[in-house]
């Protein structure tokens, strides 16, 4: 199926009983997002909101809400795009199996953007920022945001579509210090293509023009988030995934997506910033208010009968988890090309993506001697030093020769494999005073923190425990030890108040535990709620890896430093408590939550 518009795709979902239509008026302030969250939690359908309070436009969400529905939307093109990617990895495969790849050249033809010659649907009408659905997702959000924006900018030295950058950088429509209908906020982070353009425009005496697309074909939003190599246009990928060339036009000097439902045009002001945020983000916490670039609004275009396409982000999994799944389906064949020696890599969605990365690598350096991490350490350095994966905070990497069937997507089994084999005196490698994800507030400053590589290779060193040794006890103030996974013990600790006191608590715990045989417990977590942490694998990875800064929050029983290498001869202790400098976690408004629950019960 190849769609002509977002409305066409939504009608297709309706025909296949994958759409919930809400006739009654809904409030974009918290209510519309809460409806989306509750439907998503039930693995429910896409949602069409026919009446949005304060706006003349309809809205749609949750169209990518399940992996199955995402695959359905791309059922006409996904396999063909996979073939193109496979050929990119190894062009000779075409000669080996021409029957499999004969459509690949035809798919590649859809990669070339095409200028609309006979008018553009997106210029049918004009509106203002305040008439757009003002979707506010979480109580502490600084205003309304566009959550599925496609932000387009061009290279000032070569302003053509093939040199443009399409990225998903959130846009704040209202609130804070923005002049209503005249200014909006633009948030972008490290390793984003727009930053290259921004830097160059600051050096030139010409305006930095920007266009923000909302809606359009389902492939367009996905292409804006696809991690393509620098210099490869997202518009080419959007065309292949749509099975239809990306159509564009120009108006008043601005680049417009002809198939978008809405296009906001404007100028990113040079050397001008205003407070942006807070915003409830995909780590499950608010990203706080910081100064970011400002866009001066030129016009807001829209097509006839448009749909405002939005998503709701929060503690994963949420709808955007399907993007990660789809990316994996497509780029898995390229992993070994991008990261030589890597067999598999997985940015763990339940941990907020960047805080935790799992990988499996090949070991080929010294096959004739003791099996220990060697090549996988080289691979780890490549991962930590490349693009989006450089934002990883905890990188756990295992060797493929220890278990050919090891799977990074089976998180529980992967941790069991690693913890059975890791040598804590040797296999921990820290990167201190470095950059981390902008949205991660566990570090020592904004964008500042540390990383740790946990590498394992070799024979099984221990059997992981699920019970505590006889006579086990804890220091005063610590309680309720619960196994979150085999070999992983969560302990309820006092609330974290100040660094010095918290460090003393962790060190006293390590000293206290020296008296026990804990070989089967290689990982211990200090938590605010050990029962919650142990309740599920998702809780374990979310609490542990979003709340810890490796250099500051990792301790160890019988720890030592030798020639600047840190290790421990007993369990590794991770302080996964909430810290005063952390951002608040996302908590829905209780009244809105109950109202929506009753609404959906009456409706479904």
List, for residues 240-285, the tens digit of each pLDDT value: 888 889 999 999 999 999 999 999 999 999 889 999 999 999 999 9
Please, what CATH class does the domain formed by 338-456 belong to? alpha beta
Question: Looking at residue 555, what is its pLDDT?
Answer: 98
Question: Looking at residue 8, what is its pLDDT?
Answer: 97
Q: Give the orientation angle of helix 78-89 with respect to helix 234-242, to 10 degrees.
A: 130
Residues 390-435 pLDDT 10s: 889 999 999 999 999 999 999 999 999 999 999 999 999 999 999 8
Q: With pLDDT > 70 as the criterion, what percentage of the chain qualifies? A: 94
CA distance 552 to 451: 10
CA distance 195 to 214: 21
CA distance 3 to 89: 28
13 neighbors 48 (Cβ within 8 angstroms): no
13 neighbors 63 (Cβ within 8 angstroms): yes
The two tokens of residue 4 are 């002509």
Question: Looking at residue 276, what is its pLDDT?
Answer: 96
273 neighbors 293 (Cβ within 8 angstroms): yes
| E-only strand ranges, 281-335 | 286-287, 290-302, 307-309
* Cα 435 → chain centroid: 17
Burial class (CB in 10 A: 0-12, 13-18, 19+), 93: middle
526 neighbors 578 (Cβ within 8 angstroms): no
The two tokens of residue 568 are 């421990």
118 neighbors 295 (Cβ within 8 angstroms): no
Rg of the chain on CA atoms, in Å: 25
Question: Looking at residue 191, what is its pLDDT?
Answer: 46
- DSSP letters, 22-41, are E-S-B-TBTHHHHHHHHHHH
For 449, other C-beta atoms within 10 Å of its C-beta total 24
484 neighbors 540 (Cβ within 8 angstroms): yes
Characterise 119 by phi-psi region: left (phi > 0), alpha (psi -120 to 50), beta (else).
left
Residue 66: closest CA among 36, 38, 47, 43: 43
Whole-number Cα distances in Å, 507 to 183, 384, 432, 546 = 51, 29, 20, 21
Per the omega criterion (within 30 degrees of 0), is the bond before 278 cis? Answer: yes
Residue 332: pLDDT above 80? no
Average pLDDT of the residues in 81-89: 69
The two tokens of residue 80 are 């063909």
Give the chain's mean pLDDT.
91
- Beta strands 290-302 and 307-309, pairing class: unpaired
CA distance 209 to 153: 7
47 neighbors 22 (Cβ within 8 angstroms): yes
Question: Looking at residue 444, what is its pLDDT?
Answer: 82
- DSSP letters, 421-432, are H--TTTSEEEEE
Residue 50: pLDDT above 50? yes
Q: With pLDDT > 90 as the criterion, what percentage of the chain qualifies? A: 73
Residues 192-230 pLDDT 10s: 567 777 778 788 788 989 999 999 999 999 999 887 655
Helix (H) or strand (E) holding 104: helix 104-109
- Please give the residue that has the higher pLDDT: either 45 or 106: 45
Residue 89: pLDDT above 70? no
The two tokens of residue 590 are 């209780």
For 104, other C-beta atoms within 10 Å of its C-beta total 20
Question: Looking at residue 94, what is its pLDDT?
Answer: 47
The two tokens of residue 308 are 């405002």
Question: Looking at residue 218, what is its pLDDT?
Answer: 95
Question: Looking at residue 232, what is its pLDDT?
Answer: 66
Residues 127-172 pLDDT 10s: 999 999 999 999 999 999 999 999 999 888 888 888 888 989 999 9
Average pLDDT of the residues in 383-389: 85
Question: Looking at residue 391, what is its pLDDT?
Answer: 87
Whole-number Cα distances in Å, 69 to 43, 241, 315, 395 = 10, 15, 21, 31
For 203, other C-beta atoms within 10 Å of its C-beta total 9
66 neighbors 19 (Cβ within 8 angstroms): no
Residues 459-514 pLDDT 10s: 999 999 999 999 999 999 999 999 999 999 999 999 999 999 999 999 999 999 99
Average pLDDT of the residues in 87-106: 57
Helix (H) or strand (E) holding 485: strand 479-485
Residues carrying CATH 2.30.110.10, the chain? 6-309
Lowest-confidence pick of 305-319, 429-443, 585-599: 429-443
For 78, other C-beta atoms within 10 Å of its C-beta total 18
Architecture of domain 6-309: Roll (2.30)
Q: Which residues of 165-182 are buried (b: 16+ CB within 10 A; e: fewer)?
A: bbbbbbbbbbbeebeeee
- pLDDT band (50, 70, 90) for residue 340: confident
Residue 429: closest CA among 330, 534, 325, 550: 550
- pLDDT band (50, 70, 90) for residue 334: low
CA distance 51 to 47: 12
Residues carrying CATH 3.40.1670.10, the chain? 338-456
Residue 1: pLDDT above 80? no
pTM of this structure: 0.91
Strand order in the sheet with 448-456: 342-347, 356-361, 394-399, 448-456, 428-435
Average pLDDT of the residues in 23-47: 97
CA distance 33 to 136: 7
Residue 234: pLDDT above 80? yes
168 neighbors 153 (Cβ within 8 angstroms): no
């Amino acid at each position: 199926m190849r769609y002509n518009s977002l409305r066409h795709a939504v009608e297709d979902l309706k025909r296949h009983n994958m759409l919930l239509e809400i006739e009654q008026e809904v409030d974009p302030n918290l209510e519309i997002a809460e409806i989306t969250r509750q439907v998503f939690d039930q693995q429910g359908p896409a949602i069409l909101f026919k009446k949005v309070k304060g706006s003349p436009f309809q809205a749609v969400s949750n169209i990518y809400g399940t992996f199955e529905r995402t695959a359905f939307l791309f059922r006409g093109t996904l396999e063909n795009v996979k073939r193109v990617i496979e050929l990119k990895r190894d062009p000779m495969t075409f000669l080996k199996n021409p029957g499999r790849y004969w459509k690949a050249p035809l798919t590649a033809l859809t990669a070339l953007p095409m200028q609309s010659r006979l008018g553009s649907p997106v210029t049918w009408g004009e509106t203002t920022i305040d008439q757009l659905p003002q979707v506010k997702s979480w109580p502490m959000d600084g205003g309304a945001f566009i959550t599925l924006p496609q932000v387009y900018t061009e290279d000032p030295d070569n302003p053509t579509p093939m040199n443009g950058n399409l990225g998903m950088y959130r846009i704040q429509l209202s609130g804070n210090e923005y002049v209503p209908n005249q200014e909006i906020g633009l948030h972008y982070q490290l390793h984003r293509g727009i930053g290259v353009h921004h830097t160059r425009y600051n050096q030139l005496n010409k305006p930095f023009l920007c266009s923000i697309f909302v809606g359009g074909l389902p492939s367009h939003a996905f292409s804006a988030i696809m991690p393509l190599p620098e210099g490869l246009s997202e518009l080419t990928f959007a065309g292949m995934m749509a099975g239809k060339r990306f159509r564009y036009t120009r108006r008043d000097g601005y680049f417009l997506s002809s198939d978008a439902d809405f296009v906001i045009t404007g100028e990113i002001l040079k050397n001008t910033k205003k407070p942006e945020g807070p915003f409830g983000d995909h780590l499950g916490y608010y990203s706080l208010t910081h100064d970011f670039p400002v866009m001066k609004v030129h016009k807001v275009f829209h097509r006839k009968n448009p749909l405002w396409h939005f998503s709701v982000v929060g503690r994963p999994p949420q709808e955007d988890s399907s993007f990660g799944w789809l990316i994996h389906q497509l780029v898995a064949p390229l992993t070994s090309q991008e990261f030589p020696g890597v067999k598999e890599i997985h940015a763990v969605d339940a941990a907020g993506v960047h805080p935790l990365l799992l990988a499996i690598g090949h070991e080929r350096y010294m096959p004739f001697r003791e099996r220990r991490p060697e090549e996988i350490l080289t691979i780890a350095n490549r991962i930590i030093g490349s693009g989006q994966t450089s934002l990883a905070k905890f990188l756990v990497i295992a060797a493929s020769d220890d278990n050919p069937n090891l799977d990074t997507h089976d998180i529980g089994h992967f941790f069991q494999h690693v913890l059975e084999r890791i040598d804590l005196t040797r296999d921990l490698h820290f990167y201190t005073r470095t950059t981390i994800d902008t949205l991660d507030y566990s570090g020592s400053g904004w964008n500042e923190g540390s990383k740790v590589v946990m590498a394992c290779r070799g024979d099984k060193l221990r059997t992981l425990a699920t019970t505590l040794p006889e006579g086990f006890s804890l220091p005063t103030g610590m309680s309720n030890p619960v196994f979150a996974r085999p070999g992983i013990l969560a302990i309820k600790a006092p609330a974290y108040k100040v660094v010095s006191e918290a460090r003393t608590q962790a060190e006293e715990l390590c000293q206290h535990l020296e008296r026990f045989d804990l070989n089967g417990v290689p990982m211990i977590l200090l938590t605010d709620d050990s029962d919650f942490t142990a309740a599920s694998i998702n809780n374990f990875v979310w609490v542990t890896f979003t709340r810890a800064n490796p250099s500051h929050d990792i301790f160890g029983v019988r720890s030592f430093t030798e020639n600047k290498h840190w290790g421990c001869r007993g369990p590794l202790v991770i302080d996964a408590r909430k810290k005063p400098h952390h951002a608040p976690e996302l908590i829905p408004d209780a009244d809105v939550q109950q109202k929506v629950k009753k609404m959906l019960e009456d409706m479904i």
